[in-house]
Each structure stands twice: as structure tokens, then as C-alpha cells.
Amino acid sequence: MEKILQEAMKKSDQAEVFSSEATTNILNYENGMLKDIESTIEKGISLRIIKNKRLGFAYTRNIHTENDLIANALQSLKGGIDAPFTFPSPGEIKNLNTWDPECENLSNTTIAEECQRVNELFAQKTAGQVNISTGFTYSTLRIMNNRRTDLSVRSSLFFMNISLLYPESYAGLRRLHLSKGFTPVPAELIDELVTIYKSSEKQVYPKSGLLKVLFLPEVFYILGWRLQSATNCVNIYQRQSPLVDKIGLPVFNNQLSVVNDPRNDHRPGARAFDDEGTPCCYLPLIENGVVSNFYNDLDYAEKLKTKSTGTGFRGGVLSGEIFATKPQPQLQHLGVLPGKKSWQEMLASIDRGIIISGALGAHSGNIPNGDYSIGLSPGLYVENGEIVGRVKDAMIAGNIYSTLKNIISIEDHQSATLFGYYPSILCDQISFAVKN
């Protein structure tokens, strides 16, 4: 990397070299039986250069072709992409615990034994089909630039994604177990899935109308996706967000607080710096319903004449080959702060409503405007505080600015999902429609 940086600086005004390597091993189980094993090693280097305030970018999987890498980055300058920003100098970086050394020694045998244990526990309590995707990944990345920034991090992750499916359907209940190193799946997670599943095996046919809707943690991304769009400085700069000029205003229910918390190393994937070498920070986006901050990267921080929020990341959630992408504003450590109600209290407060545990078409609707229109896969129908069955061929529609204004309560516990850490959120007056 040092040689690439030195050679690149001979032909540019600024240069940044980024390298990453990730080893991933995944075991997939279907209905209690091992279906396949996937093992990958991804390694590569990318180069960003700035010359005459224009951006060049190139990447390679072959670390021995540095001359070609530099030549390709120079060639890409012809694209004319503006780069008014400056790569960061070394900042104060917090020391985080992101690595479990035992992860490198974790065997498929250990993971398979845990899957067998989990499958047996489910088999003792329910006849529902159980699908499991589980495994580990450990990775390293390093960033160097011409301003003497030289940062690196090692991360480890064990995961188990469990699906409990309804008969003759791919609709079901899902939970994700995450840790920095191997840990058994908690019995509480299994018991909660089984309890909800048994209550919702019967198919029911409720009437359409305006109902209370309980968003489980696994589907908060429906709302979160639109919140991220609204608070992204790309859309703020282009004035395409409904939250333009709303900093300091109470736009949402005062129970809602949304934060980006990358430095929480009690969870896997913590980061002290982003993929541009900027120090990360605790960033509240919504505080008690009030719009507090927007997020950016170096580029949009400069365009808006503010400081980077340390949220310039490559790739996406659990994506591979992050070296093949350029940084952009991203919230990879998003969460909603817990509320004051238990799951049981929230359920008991629903006279008539729907629990959403899976969604189809989360991309539907005008995302920048906050609109959504999704199919339920499945939706669980609630009457008088009890789950009475599941609904097929149903959907909900609305806008996050009214939905998150009409929050009734927020669960007092966060759960891990693919998109962050969230509690369940109960909202009122949401349009529900079911096929007659």
C-alpha cells in the first residue's frame, strides 16, 4: 500500500489507498437438514486520487498490479467527477474491542452442533419448518492517505438467522442472533418465536380499515429506509428531503429517538473510523421526536460547508468486496432507543390490529417522500390483546411522517436485525387492506 500511495502522489494532488480482506463461512439448513456450505475469501485494494479537484477511482483484486491500478485511476479522471474535499489528517481515534481471536478457530463442526441443538429445541415445541443460515466472518481493512492517515481494524462476527415458516409457505417469523465470537442462541429467542408461531397458525380474514400496527424489529427497515433517505445529506443538498430546514423541529412523536452508534463495541461490527479515515461518533438523528442531525461523507460535508459525521462507508450491510465501491453517506450502525413498554404490555393494548413480521415490496412507494406500500408476509391479526391468527394477501400503506407521529408505544428492548438494533414499535391509524 505504501508503494501505491507514493507512486500515486507523483501524478496527483491527493491520494488514498484502501485495502480489505474478508473470510466468510456460511452453513445453510433447510427443514433441519444441511443444504450447503459456502466459503469465500475476498481481498482487494482500491485507489482514490484527486487532481485539479477531479476524482479518480480504481480497484483491483490482484495486489501485484499497482501500476495498472494507478493508470486506471488516472484514466477515470476523464469522467469529470467533482472532488472539492480534502482527505482527512490523523484524528483522535477511540480504541475499540472489535475482535474475538477464537473466531479464526471456529470450526464447521461447532456451528453444525449448535444448529442441531437449535433444530431439536424447535422440534420439541412446534411442527413448523425451521430454516437456518449461520456462520462467521472475520475481516481486516486499512486506509492510508497522503496526509499521514494510516488506520486499520480487525472485526469478527458470528451470526445465526433463524426462520420459522408456516405450512406450505415461505412466510414466517424470523430472528437474528449476532455476536463478535461464537455464542449459543439464547433459549428466550427460541421460546418467543414458538409462542408467537403457535398463536398465529390459524388463517383468519379480518376486515380492511384503519388499524393499530405493531412493527417488529425485523421490519423496521421499512420505516428506517425512508428515514435514512430523509436525513442523508445527498438529499438535503439537493433539497429532495421533507426534512430540509427542519433541524430543531418536533416532526415525530416525542417517544422516538433514532441514533447512529458506531462506537458501541458491545456489538459486532463497531467502528472507530469510517471508510474515509474520519473518526466516527455517536450521532443522534431524531431526539424525542425532534430532528437533530443529518449524516454525510467528506464530499457532502464540504458541499454543505460543515464537518464530516464519520459516516462515509463503502458497500452496504453484510456486502462483500467493499473495496470495489466508493464511500458514500451511509448509516451502518443505526438503532432506535428502547421505550418503556414490554412486548406483553404492547400486545395487551391492541384492541384490533396487525403485527408485521415480514414484508414484501419494501421498496414500493415514493421513498424520498416517506411513502410506503407493502405486502404482509405474514401479518398477524390481534383482537382484544391476543394474537388470533395470520393474514394472507394483505397490505398496509402510509407515510412515515404520519406513522411515526402516531406512535402509541415503543418496546423496552432492542433486537438485532440485518439493518440495525430496534425495538418493536406500535403505531395507530394505519391503512390496512386485505383481499376479499
pLDDT tens digit string along 40-97?
999 999 999 999 999 999 999 987 778 899 999 999 999 999 999 999 999 889 999 9
Q: Which residues contact 215 (CB under 8 A, 6 or more apart)?
A: 222, 223, 356, 424, 425, 426, 427
State how far the alpha carbon of 393 is from the alpha carbons of 75, 145, 352, 380, in Å.
52, 53, 18, 12
For residue 125, the 8-state DSSP code is H
Query: What count of Cα atoms within 13 Å lies in the side-chain half-sphere of residue 417?
Result: 25
135 φψ region: left (φ > 0), alpha (ψ -120 to 50), beta (else) = left
DSSP per-residue string spanning 148-167: S-EEEEEEEEEEEEEEEEPT
Of residues 105 and 433, more confidence is placed in 433
pLDDT (tens digit per residue) in 239-274 = 999 999 999 999 999 999 999 999 999 999 999 999
Q: What domains lie within the chain, and their CATH numbers?
A: 2-195 (3.30.2290.10), 201-436 (no CATH)
Task: Give the per-residue pLDDT at 384.
Answer: 97
What predicted TM-score, i.e. pTM, was given to this entire model?
0.94
Task: Give CA–CA dist 320/24, Å, rounded.
Answer: 9
Q: How confident is the model at residue 321 (pLDDT cuts 50, 70, 90)?
A: confident
Q: How confident is the model at residue 364 (pLDDT cuts 50, 70, 90)?
A: confident
Please check whether residue 277 is in contact with residue 143, taking contact to mean a CB–CB distance below 8 angstroms. yes
State how far the alpha carbon of 294 is from the alpha carbons of 244, 263, 286, in Å.
10, 18, 9
Of 154, 141, 193, nearest to 21 by C-alpha is 141
Mean pLDDT, rounded, for 271-298: 98
Task: Give CA–CA dist 408/212, Å, rounded.
Answer: 9
Q: What is the mean pLDDT of the chain?
A: 95
Of 51, 69, 55, nearest to 276 by C-alpha is 55
Residue corresponding to grid cell 448509516: 331
DSSP per-residue string spanning 179-210: ESS--PPPHHHHHHHHHHHHHT-SB--PPPEE
Mean pLDDT, rounded, for 182-211: 95
